[in-house]
Amino acid sequence: MAGEKLSQKSADDITDRLPPCMRDDGGIAMRWFVPLLPLSFCISAFAVETNTWQQAGMDDFEKGALKNLSLSSEGKLCLAPAVKEVLDASAAFLWAVARDSKGDIYVGGGGLGSSQVKLLSVDRQGTIKTVAELDGISIQAIAVDSRDRVYAATSPDGKIYRIDGSSKPEVFYDPKAKYIWGLAFDKSGNLFVATGDQGEIHKVSPSGSGSVFFRTEEAHARSLAIDSKGNLIVGTDPSGLIIRVSPAGQGFVLYQAPKREITAVAVAPDDTIYAAGIGNKQATPPPASTQLPSPAPATASALGGAITVTGAPARPGALPPPAAAQQAITGGSEIYRIQSDGYPRKVWSNAQELVYALAFDGQGKPVVGTGNHGYIYRLDSDYSYTRLVTLSSTQVTGLMTAPDGTVYALTGNIGKMFSIGPRTETSGTFESDVLDAGAFTYWGRITADPEPQAGLTIETRSGNVSRPQQNWSAWEKLNSGRVASPSARFLQYRLTLSGSAWTDEIAVAYQMKNVAPVIEEIETTPFNYKFPAPATASNASSSPANLTLPALGRKQPSNSASSASSGANSPAMNWSKGWAGVRWLASDDNGDTLQFKVEIRGVNETGWKLLRDNIREHYFSWDATAFPDGKYIVRVTASDAPSNPPDQALTSSRESDWFVIDNTPPEITCCSVLGTNEMTIQFRAKDALSTLGKAEYSVNGGDWVVVEPTTRLTDSTEHEYRIAVPRPNAETTVAVRVSDELENQSVAKTVLKP
């Protein structure tokens, strides 16, 4: 069977083999693919040529199920960092995390329906305890000072509490703001507080006295970080601004993002800034000034000079939102990198995921926490990234990296904390999506790139229902590199990786069982029309003398003259007296190229006479004047021989209903004349095979006038006709003409005397 083989190896002559993606430097080399066709694209199978189901890109592997494996944007599968659940907070969300100098970790979150929230701690031995219970719905931010005192900010209408472990929590500072989104200490011990819904930054001294330090002119100062020079990096909502605020309180917009809300900012050791933006903007905001207002005077009160924000405030994205509120955010996420010289660049985007948290792993690469699938990504370069792990909770809401390189992730739905890395999992699996080969299929070899390597095991299972279930075969390892699962229509494979094994391409060879073609429908075409030669079949004339047939299986529209070029259609037919035709609808489950043979026999005959062989079109017409009048049957035989070797070619046949070949005109018996003053001409017409059609008469060569049979209905092979004419004053010739339904025509005449 004809077809193009899709198997393709990656361009090994262009790039070197990639190392394991969890190598010491944490990087992933760029791998370029040169696909001939879209990967994982399955065409109709062909019996002779082996076909290949190839998976070699992130889009392909994302269709399957990964467990303990990482997947790079170049399509590389390798062992993921080890994931361990550290804490279950028994809360809907955890939002904030911080670590003290002793290695104790503090987390906070919350959920709707409670007036108090818990601040929890986990020590180095993994012991969990409740440090404090604070008034509020949620703990949105946590910070630890140089003396290991913990500061927790509650929302909404919250306060900042200080917990030093030796006494009850005390209110350290009240910003008189609805939301507190972020806390950060500078080197002098001053605490900076990012708030909403007035978009203010407060500066609080170690003694607890504070005031408005900077006003963003936004509804929310949504995220906060400090660089090595003491500059504040602030992300806002709803204009998506990333602002740098100097220690003196001078603000400068580094970038106005296309997204509405800057949910997270993080500063690398070299002061490179990474910022995450989510959500489409509702309306285009006015151009932001690159020079922001002067800082608020030190004597101003916490609410002094607050800017009135028109319209509703932005959605409090960091509060524990119901699922419907999160689903309402449209536009996905983007991550921007701003270099130390101020140059901004988008380095990552995703149309579905929402980024809630940013951090850096032990090797200094950005790590991204997202929802609503629990994915954590690592940015490997401006052009590549890795989906590191998938957590059991749906939102990754907070990230923090310990000195040993362990990344701690907070989650929502359900509120938990996980440790990630730095070691990798001991093994991981990937279950592919299901290959639908289209029909009963033989399975061949499975290859993985690179091959061979230790630590990579491939198993398969097969079945004849589209979803794997108990009635599929069991998982079986390959037999000398070949699929051991039974032949069937559907196939799935499973990879198991261990050690340093990795792969970025899987190819499965398969071949459908050849099945006979099927002629689904056959019909004879109207007599006296023929199909054009194949080379001119598309040049159908628009002349009224041409006839266009509707597609098989469709009702013929009235006065339709359209034609189609698909296999179920045929070209316009041309008038040609005495020609007959047949057309058919045929298919082949293997997608084989078909050829056809057309034969004919009389209804009372036993032997078939060949009309034409090796026809590629789905129609044929012939000169029927070479056949005696009578009833005939046509047989069409379809063969897939063009796509198969002779010993494997299959055929099937179908016969038409009987039809009439009639090239003899009706017989007219003419004519008797009755009457005196008014004369009646009476004549009879008879046809041997066909129902009579139109009858007409003409007086002295005048126009032809239709005449009805005496029965009124023209529905028989024999009829009598009567024509009333006045008695002529001179000799008059009356001609009569009768056609049968196949347009054979006879003419007779009579002469009337005065």
Q: What is the DSSP string of 474-539?
A: PPEE-BTTB--SPPEEEEEEEEEEETT-EESEEEEEEEEPP---EEEEEEEPPTTEEPPPGGGTT-
The pairing of strands 619-623 and 579-587 is antiparallel
* Class of domain 518-553+562-661 as given by CATH: mainly beta
Q: Which amino acid would we find at residue 714? A: T
- Do the first three CATH levels of 83-305+317-424 and 667-752 match, i.e. the same topology? no
Q: Which amino acid would we find at residue 37? A: L
Question: Lowest-confidence range among 42-51, 178-187, 582-591, 731-740?
Answer: 42-51
pLDDT in tens, 107-161: 999 877 678 899 999 999 999 999 999 988 999 999 999 999 999 999 888 899 9
Instruction: State mean pLDDT over 462-479.
Output: 92
More confident position, 6 or 52: 52
CATH 2.40.240.20 matches 83-305+317-424: no
Q: Phi/psi zone of residue 480: left (φ > 0), alpha (ψ -120 to 50 degrees), beta?
A: left
Q: Is 666 helix (H, G, I), strand (E, B) or coil?
A: coil
Classify residue 326 by its DSSP letter. Answer: H
Residue 585 CB contacts under 8 Å (≥ 6 apart), including other chains: 519, 520, 521, 522, 552, 553, 567, 568, 618
Q: Is 639 helix (H, G, I), strand (E, B) or coil?
A: strand
The pairing of strands 160-163 and 150-155 is antiparallel
Q: Is 721 helix (H, G, I), strand (E, B) or coil?
A: strand
Q: What is the per-residue pLDDT for 320? A: 39
* pLDDT class of 596 with cuts at 50, 70, 90: very high
* Cα–Cα distance for residue pair 619/583, rounded to 1 Å: 4
Instruction: State mean pLDDT over 663-682.
Output: 85
pLDDT in tens, 16-47: 333 334 333 333 333 333 333 333 344 344 44
How many beta carbons lie within 10 A of that of residue 327, not counting itself? 11
Q: What is the per-residue pLDDT for 554? A: 52
Angle at CA 421, nearest 5°, toward 417 and 423? 145
Q: What is the per-residue pLDDT for 20? A: 36
pLDDT in tens, 400-457: 999 999 999 999 989 999 999 999 999 999 999 999 998 899 999 999 998 778 899 9
* pLDDT class of 335 with cuts at 50, 70, 90: very high
Whether pLDDT at 559 is above 70: no
pLDDT in tens, 481-496: 999 999 999 999 999 9
How far is CA 660 from its chain centroid?
A: 53
Name the one residue in this structure whose structure tokens are 């916490």: 302
Q: Are 151 and 210 in contact (CB under 8 A)?
A: no
* Cα–Cα distance for residue pair 362/629, rounded to 1 Å: 93
Domain ranges, ordered by start, for the chain: 1-80+426-511, 83-305+317-424, 518-553+562-661, 667-752
Strands, E, within 246-364: which ranges?
251-256, 259-267, 273-280, 333-338, 344-350, 354-360
* Class of domain 667-752 as given by CATH: mainly beta
